[in-house]
């Protein structure tokens, strides 16, 4: 799976370079304002801490033991693995697996990670209609038949899931999922904090992208730039490339073009955003190195 996704990322970037003047894209990295980039880097650390707290909170709601410092270390490690491994989700899979090994209810440990991630992605999806309303040019470019097809597919999928859930065998299988969904996300005491933390994270993603764009000299008004970022994040959820590379830049070129903005500025900011997320995840490399050293010291030495 790693080689095809890496090849797809390279192919998308090559196609982008063929369509755009990459000299204009790269020229924006010659006069970087370090102040804006330091702000963006600081915001990425805030994102990790808040995401780790959301995971800690979700796990505690499910009756699991997950100390906050441990959650922070695990989240840094997962973020780093997501950046250097294909698909962008293997880091989350690894933290779910490691937490499940320490819990009596391994299923709840896995579901805690899924619910924590779903909380943020659901809010991104809900923000898309608002972003389209704030960018009339994008809204006008969306084909009505496409909207109808998407709505029909969503309704058909919901009806199919509802029908499957009514079968006795599936009721038994889905019961723990529904129980943990109510406790971890939908409960009156959980939902406000889940929504607030996810909203703050979404705002931080937008601010990181905006700060990177400013650091590269992009003077696009914030009111025009910021509504595009959630749409870009939604495109990055597609697990088809290597850490989002290629897909993110291609989506930026299309979105900026449809919004009447300079696509080279969008691609440059997208590249800078990807690099900033990678740099922000580097504490996870330190966590990995320390754990590897600890494992080597604890392993029996060969005679």
Q: Which of 61, 64, 70 is nearest to 105 (CA)?
A: 64
Tens of pLDDT, residue by residue over 102-154, are 877 888 999 999 999 888 888 888 888 888 888 877 777 766 666 677 778 77
CB 204 within 8 A of CB 50: yes
| DSSP three-state, residue 142 | coil
The H or E element containing residue 94 is: helix 90-101
298 within domain boundaries? no
How far is it, in rounded angstroms, from Cα 246 to Cα 236?
9
300 within domain boundaries? no
247 within domain boundaries? yes
Q: What is the mean pLDDT of residues 258-274?
A: 91
Provide the pLDDT for residue 13. 83
301 within domain boundaries? no
> What pTM value is reported for the model?
0.88
Whole-Å CA distances, 127 to 42, 184, 238: 24, 22, 17
Computed over every residue of the chain, the mean pLDDT equals: 85
For helices 68-84 and 263-280, what crossing angle results, to 10°? Answer: 130
| DSSP three-state, residue 105 | coil
302 within domain boundaries? no
What sign does the CA torsion over 204, 210, 213, 217 have?
Answer: negative
Range of the domain at 203: 2-292
Provide the pLDDT for residue 153. 76
Question: Phi and psi for 142 in degrees, rounded to 5?
Answer: -75, 120
Residue 67 pLDDT exceeds 90: yes
Q: Which of 67, 59, 186, 163 is nearest to 113 (CA)?
A: 59
28 within domain boundaries? yes
263 within domain boundaries? yes
């Amino acid at each position: 799976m790693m080689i095809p996704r890496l090849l797809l990322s390279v192919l998308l970037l090559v196609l982008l370079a063929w369509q755009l003047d990459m000299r204009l894209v790269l020229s924006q990295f010659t006069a970087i304002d370090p102040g804006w980039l330091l702000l963006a880097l600081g915001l990425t650390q805030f994102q990790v801490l808040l995401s780790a707290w959301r995971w800690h909170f979700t796990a505690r709601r499910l009756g699991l033991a997950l100390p906050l410092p441990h959650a922070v270390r695990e989240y840094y490690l997962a973020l780093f693995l997501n950046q250097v491994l294909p698909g962008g989700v293997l880091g989350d899979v690894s933290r779910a697996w490691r937490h499940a090994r320490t819990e009596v209810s391994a299923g709840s440990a896995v579901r805690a990670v899924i619910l924590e991630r779903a909380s943020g992605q659901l809010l991104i999806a809900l923000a898309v209609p608002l972003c389209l309303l704030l960018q009339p040019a994008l809204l006008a470019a969306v084909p009505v038949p496409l909207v109808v097809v998407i709505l029909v597919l969503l309704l058909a999928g919901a009806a199919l899931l509802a029908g499957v859930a009514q079968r006795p065998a599936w009721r038994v299988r889905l019961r723990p999922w529904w129980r943990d969904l109510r406790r971890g996300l939908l409960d009156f005491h959980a939902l406000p904090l889940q929504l607030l933390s996810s909203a703050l994270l979404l705002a931080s993603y937008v601010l990181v992208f905006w700060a990177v764009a400013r650091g590269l000299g992009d003077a696009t008004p914030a009111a025009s730039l910021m509504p595009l970022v959630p749409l870009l994040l939604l495109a990055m959820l597609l697990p088809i490339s290597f850490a989002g590379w290629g897909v993110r830049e291609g989506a930026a070129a299309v979105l900026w073009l449809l919004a009447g903005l300079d696509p080279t500025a969008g691609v440059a900011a997208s590249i800078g955003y990807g690099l900033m997320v990678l740099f922000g995840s580097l504490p996870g490399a330190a966590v990995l190195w320390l754990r590897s050293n600890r494992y080597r010291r604890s392993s029996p030495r060969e005679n």
